[in-house]
Amino acid sequence: MPLTDIAIRQAKSTEKPFKLSDGDGMYLLVNSVGKYWRLDYRFLEKRKTLALGTYPEVSLAMARQRRFDARKRLADGIDPSEHKKIVKRTKFESAANSFQLVAQEWFLKNRTNWVDSHSEKIIRRLERDIFPWIGNKPIAELTALDILSVLRRIEKRKAVETAHRALQNCGQILRYAVVTGRAERDVSADLRGALPPSVPKHHASITDPKQIGELLRAMRDYKGSFVTACALRLAPLVFTRPGELRHAEWSEFNFDTAEWRIPGDKMKMGITHIIPLSTQAIALLREIQPLTGNARFVFPSNRTSERPMSENTVLAALRRLGYAKEEMTGHGFRSMASTLLNENGWDGDAIERQLAHSESNSVRAAYNYAEFMPERRKMMQWWADYLDSLAAGVRPIQTEAA
């Protein structure tokens, strides 16, 4: 006689197990622990039992549906117990190969090739914009539409450049999944042209000589922290990226050779960068050396000498001087130097090398980081003298390269 919900609810657990039959091999096993659905069947002349779930999590109706599915598989020559094991194993493998886990594996394998600031941006982008939406999805089941839905969320907040970078990262992760045997193809390739073009952002910079002179005078009158003031004054003399400036360490400077050598692991392209130091830059460094020279960083945080100054320190100092973000940024000293050095006739290749711009051939770049060094030494000293003349409000000196 088929079971009823009332009979199941009223069945009391006892020390001695007993069964309540529902017919066609299915029954409810009741013991001192709980109530369990079971299905007895024969496959290849062997008697077997299939677990269908626990009551009340699995209701009577659900148990009967599972019995129906199991009997159907038997009719098709499939052992329900073996089928259940395969499904369980497949689910486990899918979870182990989720997009997030594969992405984290890809990140760990590649992060040693990136500078810290670059790797931080990648993992932050994945954790904020991608993992919450598709992180748990098996990477082999990911579709182009899944990725597009993530990109549309980013695009909706008008972060088109971030959406492009997110698409690029998804493609890199999927290609890694392909070569490691966990995906058939890179489905992100189907999204080519799906995003609006990214408009490149140019860092605000002052390039008019008269206005540069005004900026330099304002910087020399800065009334904030002495460490910040020194970083602010050194920035235009070396025109490095802001992160490279604030992470400067005393061990990287050699006053005898008048050089600052930034290790490759701090550089965007992962290649050592040499900055010839002008007499003005050395004088400024000697000025701050009594204060921070015994610490690791030239420009330490005002909270602890174990960490460099905040990434917004120079930017905040410019704001205090009255320069809005549309006028000048810490990165703008690079555009300033590039524009004026080119206008004054210095060799374009020497300028590009001094800016540490990417070299299309990374192997060549690794061996040629000291390329154009005699020209660069002359250029960096001329640049410092040129800035001095602008700050003094006198006629700028002429370059020998012009």
| 28 within 8 A of 51, measured Cβ to Cβ | no
In single-letter form, the type of residue at position 195 comes to L
Which has more confidence, 263 or 14?
263
d(CA 337, CA 235): 11
**Rounded mean pLDDT of 325-334?**
88
Q: What is the C-alpha to C-alpha distance for residues 263 and 115, in angstroms, rounded to an integer?
A: 10
Q: Is 18 helix (H, G, I), strand (E, B) or coil?
A: strand
CA distances from 32 to 6, 15, 39, 56 (A): 19, 5, 20, 15
Is 70 exceeded by the pLDDT of residue 92?
Answer: no
Is there a contact between 37 and 63 (Cβ–Cβ < 8 Å)? yes
Percentage of residues in the chain having pLDDT higher than 90: 53
| Of 333, 316, 352, the residue nearest 236 (C-alpha) | 333
Say how far apart CA 159 and CA 169 lie, in whole Å.
Answer: 15
Burial class (CB in 10 A: 0-12, 13-18, 19+), 388: middle
Instruction: Specify the pLDDT at position 94.
Output: 56
Alpha-carbon distance of 189 to 175, in angstroms, equals: 10
135 half-sphere exposure, CB direction, 13 A CA radius: 14
**The predicted structure's pLDDT at residue 394:** 80
Residue 401, pLDDT > 60, answer no
Same fold, 99-191 and 209-392: no
Backbone dihedral angles phi then psi of residue 35, each to the nearest 5 degrees: -125, 125
In whole angstroms, what separates CA 369 from the centre of its chain? 26
CB 383 within 8 Å of CB 344: no
Q: What is the pLDDT of residues 229-276, one digit of tens each?
A: 999 999 999 999 988 999 999 999 999 999 999 998 888 767 889 999
CATH level 2 (architecture), domain 99-191? Orthogonal Bundle (1.10)
pLDDT in tens, 108-155: 988 877 767 678 888 999 999 999 999 989 998 899 999 999 999 999
Catalytic residue IDs:
241, 268, 331, 334, 357, 367
Q: Closest Cα partner for 203 from 367, 335, 39, 63?
A: 335
Quick: pLDDT tens for 18-73: 999 999 899 999 998 899 999 999 988 889 999 999 999 999 999 999 999 999 98
Q: Give the count of beta carbons closer than 10 Å to the beta carbon of residue 392.
A: 12
Domain spans of the chain, in order of start: 5-91, 99-191, 209-392
Q: Which CATH architecture has domain 5-91?
A: 2-Layer Sandwich (3.30)
β-bridge partners, 254? 259
pLDDT of residue 311: 82
Mean pLDDT along residues 204-227: 91
> Which residue is listed with tokens 């009823």?
4
Arch. (CATH architecture) of 209-392: Orthogonal Bundle (1.10)
Letter for the amino acid at 332? Answer: G
Do the Cβ atoms of 60 and 66 come closer than 8 Å?
A: no
Cα 16 to its chain centre, rounded Å, is: 59
* Residues 169, 188: Cα–Cα separation, whole Å: 10
Answer whether 19's CB lies under 8 Å from 29's CB. Answer: yes
Select from 248, 224, 223 the least CA-distant residue to 235. 248
Backbone angles phi, psi at 28, to 5 degrees: -105, 120
Contact, 207 vs 344, CB < 8 A? Answer: no
Distance between CA atoms of 347 and 209, rounded to whole angstroms? 20
Give the DSSP H/E element, type plus range, for residue 41: strand 35-43
